[in-house]
Amino acid sequence: MRYGMAIDTKKCVGCSDCVVACQTENDVPLGYCRDWVTETVAGTYPNVELELRTERCNHCDNPPCVRCCPTGASHVIQGGIVLVTHNECIGCGACIQSCPYDARFSHPNGYVDKCTFCAHLVEKGGQPACVAVCPTKCMFFGDLDDPDSDVSAALKNRRYKALAPEAGTKPQIYYLL
């Protein structure tokens, strides 16, 4: 089993509903966020192209944050979800430095916090809050190893990319082009 996400950049309108849903579902402290929306404008007028992406932890297959953690607080659970055990984290910040996506932050309580793919919902068969709430249904979540899952179906007939694959972390969030 390998959880992953596909995000349709042609459908995303950048409403930030996913960001608010995450903050509400996960009690993210005020002024912080575990996911965010990025806008890329490429080209010169009149030939410009706009891309909207909702971004978060890529739950990498080769997670540098897990490798560099001195206590084992950063760890991988079934399905490849990367989590932080709060009472094992010393708040040294090594994992924050190691993440090419800057997806982690230091929680006001001291430990390091990040997107969990809403593991507490996913393990009961649900979907991450950001995916469930998306008004344009541009996000697909599921098991990449299962050819019938939402995410596999979304990736089947489309071109897609991952962010900064050259950083070597094998990110597991794919952007449909």
Q: Which spans of this chain sit near other proteins (rule: CB under 8 A)?
A: 14, 16, 19, 31-33, 36-44, 52, 64, 67-73, 87-94, 96-102, 104-106, 109-112, 163-164, 166-169
- Separation in Å, CA 158 to CA 36, 77, 152, 174: 23, 29, 11, 11
- Separation in Å, CA 157 to CA 55, 151, 161: 22, 11, 13
Question: CB-wise, 20 or 153, nearer to other proteins?
Answer: 20
CB of 167 to other proteins, least distance (A): 5
CA distance 40 to 149: 29
CB of 39 to other proteins, least distance (A): 5
Question: CB-wise, 24 or 109, nearer to other proteins?
Answer: 109
* All residues at 6 or more sequence positions from 30 whose CB lies less than 8 Å from its CB, including other chains: none
CB of 94 to other proteins, least distance (A): 5
